[in-house]
Amino acid sequence: MECIEAIKGRRSIRKFKDQPVETELVGQLLDAAQMAPSAGNLQARDFIVISDKATKQKLAKAAMGQSFIEQAPVAVVIIANFERSSRIYRSRGELYAIQDASAGIENLLLAAHSMGLGTCWVGAFDEAKVSELLGIPNKAKPVAIIPLGYPGEQPAAPPRMVQDRLVHWEKW
């Protein structure tokens, strides 16, 4: 799949087939996520891969009841590792770690789509509950929960704003 085709074809999937995702594919997706750019190449992002049904249920509950998280065969929680980035970048390190995590998320989403898998970027969740559930240390922050599986739906493309409303040349 060509890059632009993957970008334009990716959708948020909230229904998944009852079919496991091969561990090898999950590993390939994590490799793709790790290839994303990062500030100072510090790679201030970590990944927690969850396939346990009970843990996914608790994640769904912490994510305002978004039950499709537990229905996906796998969920990946992407963490911004503040400690790793702040050693060099001090107070800006938190922002850079969030950017590192976000770049990794987008790579994972696009790679999954190119491999015939579905994902959804979930950012609406109780950060404290997710951190406690997964044992995330204080110097790190969950940025997203990504349910992952074979798509059980094919949503239409959502409308996008025209570039004239979003693009500013030279100044605002």
Q: How confident is the model at residue 1 (pLDDT cuts 50, 70, 90)?
A: confident
Question: What's the average model confidence in pLDDT over 103-108?
Answer: 98
Residue 93 domain-assigned (yes or no) = yes
Residue 114 domain-assigned (yes or no) = yes
Angle among Cα 46, 126, 7 to the nearest 5 degrees reads 55
Residue 75 domain-assigned (yes or no) = yes
Question: What's the average model confidence in pLDDT over 85-110?
Answer: 98
Residue 51 domain-assigned (yes or no) = yes
Q: How many domains does the chain have?
A: 1
Q: Which domain holds residue 72?
A: 20-150
Residue 99 domain-assigned (yes or no) = yes
pLDDT at 58 over 80: yes
> Could you tell me the CATH number of the domain that includes residue 127?
3.40.109.10
Amino acid letter at 53? K
